[in-house]
Amino acid sequence: MAITTSQQAQAGLAQARQHINELDQQIAALLAERFETVDEIARLKKAAQVPVKNQAREAQVLDQVADAIGSDQLAPHARKIFVTIMAESRAYQNQKINATTSEEN
C-alpha cells in the first residue's frame, strides 16, 4: 500500500470536502422539492380534513429509505435523518395550515 504523506492527506481532505459541498447542494435542492410537495399535501389534507400526522405512512417512508440506502450499516443513520425530515415536514404543514386558516378568518 502506498504511503500517504501529510501533504497528500491535506489535499485529499480538501478534495473530499469539495465533493461534500457539491452533494450538499444537491441534497438541499431535493429537500426544497420535497418541501414543495409537502406544501401541496398540506393543502390537500386541509381540504380533505385529514390530520397532518400519519404514523403508518411515516413507518413506510422509513422502511423505503432504509431499503434504498442499500447498507445495513447506513440504514439506522438514514432512518434517523428521515425521522427529523418528517418532523420538520409536519411542522411546515402545521405552519402552512394555520397560516391559511388565519388568513381566511
Ligand X SMILES: C=C(O[C@@H]1C=C(C(=O)O)C=C[C@H]1O)C(=O)O
Q: CB neighbours of 73 closer than 8 A, spacing ≥ 6?
A: none
Q: CB neighbours of 87 closer than 8 A, spacing ≥ 6?
A: none
Residue of 100, 104, 85 lying closest to 45 (CA atoms)? 100
Stretch that binds ligand X, among 15-23, 24-32, 47-55, 63-71 (CB under 6 A): 47-55
* 66 is an interface residue for ligand X by CB under 6 A: no
Stretch that binds ligand X, among 3-11, 19-27, 51-59, 66-74 (CB under 6 A): 51-59
Q: Of 78 and 86, which CB lies nearer to ligand X in the complex structure?
A: 86
Q: CB neighbours of 49 closer than 8 A, spacing ≥ 6?
A: none
**Minimum distance between the CB of residue 28 and ligand X, rounded to whole angstroms?**
16
Note the residues at the interface with ligand X (CB under 6 A).
Answer: 38, 41, 52-54, 57-58, 61, 86, 89-90
